[in-house]
Structure 1
Amino acid sequence: MSREVIFTEKEIKERVSELGRQITQDYKDSKNLVLVGILKGSFVFMSDLVRSIHLPNTNVSLEFMSISSYGAETSSSGVIRIMMDLRTSIEGKDVLIIEDIVDSGLTLKHLMELLNHRNPNSLHTAVLLRKKEGLKVEVPVKYMGFDIPMVFIIGYGLDFAENYRELPYLGELKEECYKK
């Protein structure tokens, strides 16, 4: 088989709910919380996560950015391009970056530096997956879904060459699928 399930739909749902409860607790006194989803990979995670956050006294808004560092490759190129920027100001607001996966840490580090210059009240991250072995730079991750080994992951919004995003689980794409 070309893919192997790493985390089931049920395991993901349980972990995302836990993260939502943590975020709800941590931001209960926030006036303005902006969730910044990094497209395209984080869209499923962000969708489920935002529905697990319950802050009735907080203005919760959603923003999106598109940052490219992969193309059709299986590892980050190190070249980071902003394809789509925020449409509103984050100055004075609590900002939570929603990212699908941290491989090298370079993209998230760059993004945090960029957004920090826009003077948010606070800036933190929620990451679905982290490859600790692959980190080239340390990046602070406040809300962590799962640590994973150095394998190529697909499903639950993550893709290979724009395929497999629709899978309800997270799986490893076997090398024979992308190494020719």
Structure 2
Amino acid sequence: MSAADLPVEIEHVLVTQEQIAQRISELATEIDADYAGRDVLLVGVLKGAIMVMADLSRAMSSDPAVDWMAVSSYGVGTKSSGVVRILKDLDIDINGRH
């Protein structure tokens, strides 16, 4: 992405799309190697993790299960209360999972 493509509010890109894609590929390779032959479960936090989790699971040579959590520390305000509430817990039993 060039500076000409950036919205006026964005001064510069900290991490490029290419860098993110490369790191996701590296992580997928590391996870596949570290957990070869194991029952892998990827856990993402909604909603911010959806795209990264999709890219990561596709980049893996294994076929990991995927589950989601939703959490909040804001309540109804815009300032964090410092207390994290679980809004949606995992559906898959994580006992014995990696």
- What is the TM-score normalised by the length of structure 2? 0.79
- Identical counterparts, % of pairs: 39
Question: What RMSD, in angstroms, separates the aligned Cα atoms of the two structures?
Answer: 1.9
CA 1:93–1:10: 2 relative to 1, 3 Å = same
Match of 2:85 in 1: 81
Equivalent-residue separation in structure 1 for 2:80 and 2:57 (angstroms)? 27
| 1:50 equivalent in alignment to 2:54 | no
What is the aligned counterpart of 2:13 among 5, 9, 12? Answer: 5
Equivalent-residue separation in structure 1 for 2:74 and 2:61 (angstroms)? 34
Match of 2:95 in 1: 91
Deviation at 1:92?
1.3
CA 1:69–1:60: 2 relative to 1, 3 Å = same
Higher strand share: 1
Match of 2:40 in 1: 33
- The count of corresponding residues between Structure 1 and Structure 2 is 89
Considering only CA atoms, is the larger Rg found in Structure 1 or Structure 2? 2
Higher helix share: 2
Equivalent-residue separation in structure 2 for 1:50 and 1:60 (angstroms)? 7
- What is the TM-score normalised by the length of structure 1? 0.45
List structure 1 segments (4+ residues) > 4 angstroms apart after TM superposition. Answer: none
